[in-house]
Structure 1
Amino acid sequence: MDTDSNMAEESFFHEVVGLLPQQKSENGVVFPVVLSPNPKIANTVHLTEAIKANKTWLDSLLNRSGAILFRGFPVSSASDFNDVVESSGYEDFGYGVGGSGTRTKVVGRVYTANEAPPDQNIPFHHEMSHAPVYPSKLFFFCEVEPGKGGETCIALSHVIYERMKQKHPKFVEEMEEKGLIYTRVLGEESDPSSPVGRSWKETFMTDNKTIAEERAAKLGMKLEWMEGAVRVIIGPKPGSRYDEVKKHKVWFNNVVGRFEDKLNSDPTKAVMLSDGKPLPADVRDDCSKILDEECVALQWQKGDVLLLDNLAVLHSRRPLTMLPRRVLASFCK
């Protein structure tokens, strides 16, 4: 248990260190923090009650670490997970206009995680970093644990920023000065084979082009209509953001993901500097390598609940080599 937390001895939580092989620790801060039911409590510890009783402490812990994994609690269904999300007291963000991943609402505030085919990798990203408003916190829940593969990988964004600044100082300076522009091409029908396969109708929640343009404009997006599709131009957007709470910059962009949808005939223009200059060829590869070196790969267990600070932590999904796997998600303001 964290001795600095001033938690009462009868606390619902027990902090577990060393459970995850890649778990990191720097200056006494563990990433991610792993909390399990306190073995000193004889009765079943319900996660909803534990969260309500320790809300202030958990907020402080999330602020320090960026990620909390709740493991070993009796959370078995989407409804249970929805109760956990509600118990946090965080306001619902929803997943509406502007999101690129295909998701299905399950119950209450709960959605499926990205429904891209299991054999595909979902690159590291901050949820909706391309939008003017993005969720501040993310919940994930493992309803069905994968047989093999399908890990959710998480990485501290400020670490990635510092390493990229060291590796590519001129690019980072230019990126922060000019900002980034993202280009996507959305079809009229959703493509379930792509991690960013939502159609323009689903993305903007309308089949009316004028309404779609109005909704896109509110998100800082410009639409250029094509035969059977639309080109979406996003930005310029900052490539980094300053975390006011932690007082450091974070790597907040889609340089790695590049929105590689199948309809985009020129993927080199998927992400550019705002003056139209393409990204240096080695930036994406080096960033991917750094992310792989710095990440913690979470092998899901049934009942796991993961809480992330969306500004502090990037996340990704590795390909799944053995079905089934069902991870659900919820988004908070």
Structure 2
Amino acid sequence: MAGQSLFHELVGLLPHQKSEGETVFPVVLSPNPKIPKAVHLPEAIKANRSWLDSLLHRSGAILFRGFPVSSASDFNDVVESSGYEDFSYGVGGAGTRTKVVDRVYTANEAPPDQNIPFHHEMSHVPVFPSKLFFFCEVEPGKGGETCIALSHVIYERMQQKHPKFVEEMEEKGLIYTRVLGEESDPSSPVGRSWKETFMTDDKTVAEERAAKMGMKLEWMEGGVRVIIGPNAGFRYDEVKKHKIWFNGVVGRFEDKLNDDPSKAVMFSDGKPVPIDVRDDCCKILDEECVALQWRKGDVLLLDNLAVLHSRRPLTMLPRRVLASFCK
């Protein structure tokens, strides 16, 4: 059986789920209870690709809940069924991940007690995934929510709150500074070593790969300082005719290896981003986000251009969320 009748949309299931006209964020889809046999998610996605694409474009996020997806291999089948081309998480990524099977990786392996701040995946490099899949293999006991927020809403609220900053950001662009160690730091959400980040232990090769991504490397004792940018702090959605908040103003302050946190995010002229701007952005993100408390078998599909995501600290183990990236 094909068609949208394989799915049943749930509204009001998630706390703080957003609704604007006919658009819901996120959309929550479950198997149609009127269908007598089990609805397998890969088959349902294959039969409804165009409809799901339009739904994702309107909403920015789709949560598939209640389908029989129980393993990394099952999740890989779901990702493959989408028809989206694979984006290999390789050179340039900041978070520590382990490949599990085929197109599936662990989500950021930062310690569970740490917050992973809001971000767009790999927004600091020229080529980044357009879509993200997440899958809950082991449901957390408490905490560990994945929070999602619409980027154009964050842009609009930041423009209202800090119009001069937004104007300056658009005119100048932003520069990010990170310090990468010789070895990976498993205690940090952005703890990949320079060797792992650039997938080489040859400094010359690392410099060549960094240059292709708009990065400059300054070697120092015990590691390297990475200068990224200047990059635009926003992007414009030509179809929806609005600007989106596409930057690391929040996340880059979390780099604990940076010996001068005031230079973590700067304008292209070297002027630091004010701390009050960062703090207000954090507050707005918290106010506007939807916090997803994972259930085993959940699959979350995000438009990486439209939606920021984060992870709250986990207060009760275990939790295992897997990820996959698409071009």
**Shorter-chain TM band:** over 0.9
**1:49 matched to 2:49:** no
Q: Which residue of the other structure, out of 224, 245, 248, is the alignment partner of 1:251? A: 245
Structure 2 CA distance, aligned partners of 1:15 and 1:30?
Answer: 10
Structure 2 CA distance, aligned partners of 1:245 and 1:94?
Answer: 27
What is the TM-score when the length of structure 1 is the normalising length?
0.97
Structure 1 CA distance, aligned partners of 2:192 and 2:253?
Answer: 12
CA-atom RMSD in angstroms: 1.1
Where in structure 2 are the equivalents of 1:71-82 lying within 5 Å? 71-82=65-76
**1:39 matched to 2:33:** yes
SS in 2 for 1:245: coil
Indicate the residue corresponding to 1:126 in structure 2.
120
Structure 2 CA distance, aligned partners of 1:246 and 1:332?
Answer: 22
Structure 2 CA distance, aligned partners of 1:11 and 1:71?
Answer: 16
Letter in 2 for 1:77: S
Decide whether the 8 Å contact of 1:183 with 1:259 is kept in 2.
Answer: no
SS in 1 for 2:129: coil
Letter in 1 for 2:27: V
The range that moved more, 56-65 or 239-248, is 239-248
State the 1:9 CA deviation: 7.6
Q: Deviations over 1:60-110 (max 9, x none)?
A: 000000000000000000000000000000000110000000000000000
Decide whether the 8 Å contact of 1:10 with 1:40 is kept in 2.
Answer: no
State the 1:8 CA deviation: 7.7
CA 1:269–1:72 in 2, change beyond 3 Å: closer, same or farther? same
Q: Deviations over 1:124-160 (max 9, x none)?
A: 0000000101100000000001000000000000000
Structure 2 CA distance, aligned partners of 1:10 and 1:130?
Answer: 37
Letter in 2 for 1:32: P
Number of residue-to-residue matches in the alignment: 327
Q: Which runs of 5+ in 1 are unaligned?
A: 1-6
Q: Which residue of the other structure, out of 233, 237, 253, is the alignment partner of 2:227? A: 233
State the 1:243 CA deviation: 1.3
Indicate the residue corresponding to 1:176 in structure 2.
170
SS in 2 for 1:11: helix
What is the TM-score when the length of structure 2 is the normalising length?
0.98
CA 1:103–1:23 in 2, change beyond 3 Å: closer, same or farther? same
Indicate the residue corresponding to 2:311 in structure 1.
317
Indicate the residue corresponding to 2:141 in structure 1.
147
**1:165 matched to 2:159:** yes
Determine what percentage of the aligned residue pairs are the same residue: 89
Q: Which runs of 5+ in 2 are unaligned?
A: none
Q: Which residue of the other structure, out of 176, 180, 183, is the alignment partner of 1:186? A: 180
Decide whether the 8 Å contact of 1:184 with 1:259 is kept in 2.
Answer: no
